């Protein structure tokens, strides 16, 4: 079972920061995950032994990405760099 995600950011440095945060998590031996930043997009490829493992890893990744986007929004709302 495989899945691919492409998440667009407004700037390449934001995609790289998101990658650092998401990559820090450990993965089980049932799931293989690869990441790449292409321009301002974060590409994620997930390969799992079964559907349940694939779904669990994707859910975890999406939860982590929500935290990243929430943090970006918080920084922007407090006068941080625009364009996150």
**pLDDT tens figures, 6-62:** 999 988 988 998 999 888 777 677 899 999 999 999 999 999 999 999 999 999 999
58: three-class secondary structure by DSSP: helix
Domain count, the chain: 1
7 assigned to some structural domain? yes
83 assigned to some structural domain? no
Please answer whether residues 8 and 40 qualify as being in contact, where contact means their C-beta atoms are separated by less than 8 angstroms: yes
Question: Over 80: is that where the pLDDT of 76 sits?
Answer: no
Give me the CATH number covering residue 20: 3.30.310.50
Provide the token pair at 69.
Answer: 């986007």
34 assigned to some structural domain? yes
Please give the residue range of the domain that contains residue 22: 2-77
82 assigned to some structural domain? no
38 assigned to some structural domain? yes
Q: Phi and psi (nearest 5°) for 4?
A: -130, 135
46 sits in which H/E element: strand 41-48
């Amino acid at each position: 079972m495989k899945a691919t995600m492409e998440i667009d950011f407004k700037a390449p440095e934001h995609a790289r920061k998101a990658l650092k945060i998401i990559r820090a998590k450990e993965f089980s031996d049932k799931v293989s995950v690869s990441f790449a930043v292409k321009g301002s997009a974060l590409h994620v490829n997930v390969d799992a032994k079964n559907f349940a493992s694939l779904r669990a890893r994707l859910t975890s990744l999406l939860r982590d990405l929500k935290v990243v986007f929430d943090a970006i929004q918080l920084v922007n709302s407090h006068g941080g760099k625009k364009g996150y």
